[in-house]
Amino acid sequence: MKAGLGVDIGGTNTKIILISERARALKEIRFKTESQKGYGRFLGALSENINCLKKEFSRAKISGAGIGMAGDIDSDRGVLRFSPNLNGWRNIPLAADLGKKTGFRYVMENDANMAAWGAYVLELKKKAQNVLVATLGTGIGGGLILNGRLYHGSTGSAGEIGHALIVPDGEKCACGNSGCLEAYCGSGAIVKRAFSMIKDAAAYRNRFGAGPDLKINTVALANAADAGDKTAKKVWAETGSYLGRGFGSMILVLNPEYLILTGGVSKGARHFLPSMKKALREFRIRTPFEKVRVIVSENADLGSYGAALYGLHYGEHVPQK
Amino acid sequence: MKAGLGVDIGGTNTKIILISERARALKEIRFKTESQKGYGRFLGALSENINCLKKEFSRAKISGAGIGMAGDIDSDRGVLRFSPNLNGWRNIPLAADLGKKTGFRYVMENDANMAAWGAYVLELKKKAQNVLVATLGTGIGGGLILNGRLYHGSTGSAGEIGHALIVPDGEKCACGNSGCLEAYCGSGAIVKRAFSMIKDAAAYRNRFGAGPDLKINTVALANAADAGDKTAKKVWAETGSYLGRGFGSMILVLNPEYLILTGGVSKGARHFLPSMKKALREFRIRTPFEKVRVIVSENADLGSYGAALYGLHYGEHVPQK
């Protein structure tokens, strides 16, 4: 049986998945990334997990392996150049390091690129040519499928949509610049905007907080909006408006057939899509906007699936040692 | 002798060019587009000019013909969908109409796409994979070469960079929306901003006005800045700052090797490049910005050359009837 291995490394969690050729999950593993404890420890934990999985599926032919990683990736060399979300890690040759420890050859991409490939295969069955996939979470990433292929750009950095400017001299962003899309529509920014409007935070937590510690996160805000809460509704409407402005410019540049929204924040789509679509209607060059279809992907694991699928796709080029 | 025919249709002028396979100009014709006088008249004038040229070069084998046109183009069908700059013309099947009248088969693209192809061939000798070409004139257009090919997008509308938003609820744009890049960096917007700062317009005209009617246009403003005029310097610095913000977002999305600036406004490049580059340095995801090189193309006829070169390139697919 042929199988593909996918690794998705995010700021909080790392996921490992083994899928069949038909994209059926055979095994999933999830652990805390804990990048602040250092790369050596992380590499040890990751390779150990993969080696266990390899033993468990010793009869499977793992013919492709992919890594998606939050950060600036040199995909030609399989090196993480820099990741603000991974404790500022720099120049980490993860593909080679992990290859040595596990015996696979890994194709490595920005996590949003892998998620884009996952969405392209799983949501669209590759039945489109030009697709913009936006991963809306703590950070905002993007991946592009152009002319039916994953588009990397010249340094593997294409699709860094989270740091496109939407408000000149606007809100401070984690990247160091101001006015980035992420500074308005990343989950942290959304929650912060909500808190700036909430008068009695304790009461709000009691009423809408999620989980045992009554956290106000984007899930809580989506539920609050469902319950008719005006603050949450306003925050989501603003979020949609910012997203529409940002995506509108990208749709003009890229003229895609699909815009696919994924990631945790996209769970609030029912609340932000109306104002997002309204903002898209403000653009007057109509043809690209009449063409593009907006899809929300419910698949929470596009990053790891995408990494495995892209690994399989490139299996011939990166054969198992 | 093999030759390529290029037609570049702008809001003001239409250019026809015949080039050799090595991109040497054999003949150039230029006439006023005068779209307000109607499409029928324009088609007559254009086809007459081409038929004359055809007679003159009856021994040349014109093996490819291209049309670049300012507006929203359906390149698959060779139809102008809509052009605000051409008197609002809609659904004009120019490629077919002109084909009937002149006996060639035309490949038709947005004028910025043709200029992009021209820049790619003439400036870079095709020695790059991913290039963003911005045409800075009355309008602002863009063309993309991605993975070494002209990228159309899904409806031939890709690269509509002039209407990317750079200021929320900002200046009114000709397209009907507000805050577009073109509303800040199109030649009209630049001149308007200058006039809003000039106290004595008559004196300013006398001192810096271009041509016999002492017009204040972007050439005049470039000369004024050369002469140390503070207003002109400020206008150019602001223009660069807006351009940098707009291009910065596009560089994050596309990660190109080159950004090529063309068009009349790019003649002010010596005055706006410093502030444009400063604005680009504000972006903190550094890799794509370290990679991209900014080039100003001095070739004023990239649109027509590009149309002819693209015609030749596609000559095999669109053979002469």
User: Tokens standing for A245?
Assistant: 């402005």
Please report the pLDDT score of residue A314 as a whole number.
Answer: 84
Nearest CA in chain A to B242: A168
What pLDDT, in 10s, does the model give residues B111-162? 999 999 999 999 999 999 999 999 999 889 999 999 999 999 999 889 999 9
Residue A55 and residue A64 in contact, taking contact as beta carbons nearer than 8 Å:
no
Answer yes or no: do A160 and B72 touch at CB < 8 A.
no
Percent of chain A at pLDDT > 90 equals: 87
Of A161, A248, A288, the CB nearest to B155: A288
- Asked if the C-beta of A157 comes within 8 angstroms of chain B's C-beta atoms, the answer is yes
- Report pLDDT digits (tens) over B41-52: 999 999 999 999
Q: pLDDT exceeding 70 applies to what percent of chain A?
A: 98
In this prediction, residue B318 carries a pLDDT of 46
Whole-number pLDDT of residue A285 = 87
How far is residue B47's CA from residue B31's CA, in Å, rounded to a whole number? 12
Distance from CA of B274 to the nearest CA of A (A): 18
Give the residue-averaged pLDDT of B255-277: 96
- pLDDT-derived band at A103 (thresholds 50, 70, 90) equals very high
Min CA distance, A285 vs chain B (Å)? 7
pLDDT tier for residue B298 given thresholds of 50, 70 and 90: confident
Residue ranges of domains in chain B = 2-110+304-313, 124-296
Q: Which class in CATH covers the domain with range B2-110+304-313?
A: alpha beta
CB contact under 8 A, B164 and A287: no
The verdict on a CB contact (< 8 Å) between B255 and A166 is no
**Chain B contact set for A281 (CB, 8 A):** none
Predicted local confidence at residue A72, as pLDDT? 86
Chain B nearest C-alpha distance from A253 (Å): 4
Q: Do B154 and A249 touch (CB under 8 A)?
A: no
A154 vs B250: CB contact, 8 Å cut-off?
no
Chain A contact present for B253, CB below 8 A: yes
Whether residue B317 has pLDDT greater than 60: no
Q: Is the pLDDT of residue B175 over 90?
A: no
> Distance from A223 to chain B by nearest Cα, in Å?
29
- When the pLDDT of each residue in chain A is averaged and rounded to a whole number, the result is 94
> Tens of pLDDT along B267-285?
999 999 999 999 999 998 8
Mean pLDDT, chain B, whole residue set: 94
B25, pLDDT greater than 60: yes
Residue to test with chain B: of A91, A113, A131, A154, most B Cβ within 10 A: A154
Decide if pLDDT at A319 tops 70: no
State pLDDT tens for residues A105-117. 999 999 999 999 9
Percent of chain B with pLDDT over 70: 98
Determine the pLDDT at residue A85: 82
The closest of A315, A297, A314, A316 to A143, measured between CA atoms, is: A297
Q: Distance between CA B3 and CA B43 in Å, rounded?
A: 22
pLDDT of the residue at B316: 59
What is the predicted ipTM? 0.91
pLDDT-based confidence at residue A46 (cuts at 50, 70, 90): very high
Q: Which residues of A touch B161 (CB under 8 A)?
A: 252-253
pTM of structure: 0.92
Contact B160 A252 (CB under 8 A): yes
Residue B72's pLDDT band (cuts 50, 70, 90): confident
The pLDDT of residue B321 is above 70: no
Mean pLDDT of B227-234: 97
Candidates 3.40.630.10, 3.40.50.300, 3.40.640.10, 3.30.420.40; correct CATH number of A2-111? 3.30.420.40
Task: Out of 3.20.20.140, 3.10.290.10, 3.30.420.40, 3.90.1170.50, select the CATH number for domain B124-296.
Answer: 3.30.420.40
Q: Which residues of A fall within a CB distance of 8 Å from B284?
A: 163, 173, 175-177
What per-residue confidence (pLDDT) applies to B279? 97
A163 touches chain B (CB under 8 A): yes
Is the CB of A51 inside 8 Å of chain B's CB atoms?
Answer: no
DSSP letters for B125-175: TT--S-EEEEEESSSEEEEEEETTEEE--SSS-TT-GGGSBSSTT-SB-TT
- For an interface test with B, the pick among A165, A284, A289 (most B C-beta atoms closer than 10 Å) comes out as A165
Give the Cα separation of B121 and A77 in Å (integer).
29
- Alpha carbons B237 and B194: distance in angstroms, whole number: 12
Alpha-carbon gap, residue B111 to B116, rounded angstroms = 8
At A175 the pLDDT is: 87
Beta-carbon contacts below 8 Å between A and B = 151
Inform me whether the C-beta atom of residue A160 falls under 8 Å from chain B C-beta atoms: yes
User: Mind listing the pLDDT tens digit for each residue in A258-304?
Assistant: 999 999 999 999 999 999 999 999 998 889 999 999 999 989 899 99
> Would an 8 Å CB–CB cutoff place B169 in contact with chain A?
no
**What residue spans of chain B are helical by DSSP H?**
39-56, 94-102, 111-122, 182-185, 187-197, 201-208, 218-226, 230-254, 269-281, 286-291, 302-313
B293 contacts in chain A (CB < 8 Å): none
Contact A190, A233 (CB under 8 A): no
Calpha distance A186→A184 (Å, rounded): 6
pLDDT beyond 70 at B58: yes
- The residue among B77, B133, B157 with the most chain A CBs within 10 A of its CB, best to mutate, is B157
Residue A316 pLDDT: 59
| Alpha-carbon distance B223 to nearest alpha carbon in chain A (angstroms) | 29
pLDDT tens-digit series, residues A191-241: 999 999 999 999 999 999 999 999 999 999 999 999 999 999 999 999 999
Q: Does B240 touch chain A (CB under 8 A)?
A: no
